[in-house]
């Protein structure tokens, strides 16, 4: 059983690789720069990107299933469609695709609309797929750590409706479980879509209160206006990406990322353990900051 992991060097993908290796799967990863691919020695590292057709064909050779995670780029949609077409061409029709919760509703947010388009292709072209729709990543808070600790402000404009924040390690474990289930199935399984959420749905004020408890001093919520968020992101990433993230934040405020009935229980059953919580993550991050 050989599983190809695309998007293996990111926060989720690295955990997917580890989970698959620990479960005895043969793992191949596709990466632009193998020198930066710090994986276990048994992992097969293939060089290339999602617009390199020859590299894609080589990477899919002898593969039973694959994990597809596209980075947010200007050509993300093209990358996804090319990859899915090459997979079909190479006879690989079992996959786990990392989408995003509410991809079908937040259609004005570019990287959500892209993922919904890829979902439709997967559904219409006969793949045996699990589509994972995670909520906001708890791990994003690494970017906010310094502002929280040094300035006493939780800066993410996540609003008052609530986000069911999920840990990247939980996402990766579900992905590995589903990849192996699909790869080992005697026949094609129907497409399934799973919302991946954390145990708690938290507002901006809720998160600030958690940080206040963890740090033992007042942390305030910075508010719902996404303007400062966009300006900050635009200082170190392309302006179109910062604007994309602003549009996402606006939907956080207007809609939230609310689990559907049974989502928390479904993911908990699948993992066979409690879901990792925001409070536990914040406590560990604060402890690592204190000892750094």
| Residues paired with residue 28 on neighbouring β-strands, in sequence order | 4, 44
* Closest to 25 in 3D by CA, of 179, 187, 186: 179
Per-residue pLDDT tens over the stretch 42-93: 999 999 999 999 999 999 999 999 999 998 999 999 999 999 999 999 999 9
| Predicted local distance difference test score (pLDDT) of residue 38 | 84
- How is residue 99 written in tokens? 């989408």
- The rounded distance, in Å, linking the Cα atoms of 283 and 276 is 12
Phi, psi angle pair for 232, to nearest 5°: -65, -45
Q: Do 174 and 132 touch, CB atoms closer than 8 A?
A: yes
What's the pTM? 0.95
Distance CA 64, CA 168 (A): 24
Q: What is the pLDDT of residue 291?
A: 66
**In 125-262, which residue ranges form alpha helices assigned H by DSSP?**
145-151, 168-184, 204-215, 227-234, 239-254
Is 65 within 8 Å of 3 (Cβ atoms)? Answer: yes
pLDDT higher than threshold 90 for residue 121: yes
C-alpha span between 202 and 147 (Å, rounded) = 19
173-220 pLDDT tens trace: 999 999 999 999 999 999 999 999 999 999 999 999 999 999 999 999
Burial 11-47 (b: 16+ CB within 10 A, else e): bbbbbbbbbbbeeebebbbbbeeeeebebeeebeebb
Strands annotated E in the chain: 2-6, 26-31, 44-47, 65-68, 94-98, 128-134, 153-154, 192-196, 220-221
pLDDT-derived band at 292 (thresholds 50, 70, 90) equals: low
pLDDT value at 102 more than 90 = yes
Please give the pLDDT value at position 34.
84
* 10 vs 216, higher pLDDT: 216
Where residue 132 falls among pLDDT bands split at 50, 70, 90? Answer: very high
**C-beta separation of 77 from 110 below 8 A:** no
Place of tokens 């206040």: 212
What SS3 state is found at 45?
A: strand
């Amino acid at each position: 059983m050989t599983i190809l992991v695309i998007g293996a060097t990111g926060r989720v993908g690295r955990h997917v690789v580890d989970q698959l290796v620990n479960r005895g799967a043969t793992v191949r990863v596709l990466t632009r720069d193998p020198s930066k691919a710090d994986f276990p020695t048994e992992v097969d590292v293939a060089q290339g990107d999602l617009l390199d057709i020859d590299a894609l064909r080589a990477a899919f050779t002898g593969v039973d299933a694959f994990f597809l995670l596209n980075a947010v780029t200007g050509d993300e949609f093209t990358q996804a469609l090319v990859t899915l077409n090459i997979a079909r061409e190479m006879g690989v029709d079992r996959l786990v695709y990392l989408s995003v919760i509410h991809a079908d509703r937040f259609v004005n947010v570019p990287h959500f609309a892209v993922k919904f388009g890829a979902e439709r292709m997967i559904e219409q072209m006969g793949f045996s797929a699990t589509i994972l729709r995670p909520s906001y990543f708890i791990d994003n808070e690494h970017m906010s750590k310094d502002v929280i600790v040094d300035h006493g402000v939780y800066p993410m404009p996540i609003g008052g409706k609530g986000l069911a924040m999920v840990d990247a390690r939980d996402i990766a474990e579900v992905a590995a479980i589903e990849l192996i289930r699909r790869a080992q199935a005697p026949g094609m399984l129907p497409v399934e879509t799973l919302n991946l959420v954390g145990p708690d749905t938290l507002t901006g004020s809720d998160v600030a209160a958690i940080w206040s408890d963890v740090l033992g001093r007042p942390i305030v919520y910075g508010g719902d206006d996404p303007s400062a968020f966009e300006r900050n992101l635009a200082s170190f990433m392309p302006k179109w990406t910062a604007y994309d993230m602003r549009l996402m934040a606006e939907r956080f405020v207007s809609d939230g990322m609310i689990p559907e009935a049974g989502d928390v229980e479904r993911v908990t059953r699948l993992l066979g353990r409690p879901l990792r919580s925001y409070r536990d993550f914040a406590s560990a991050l604060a402890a690592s900051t204190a000892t750094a």
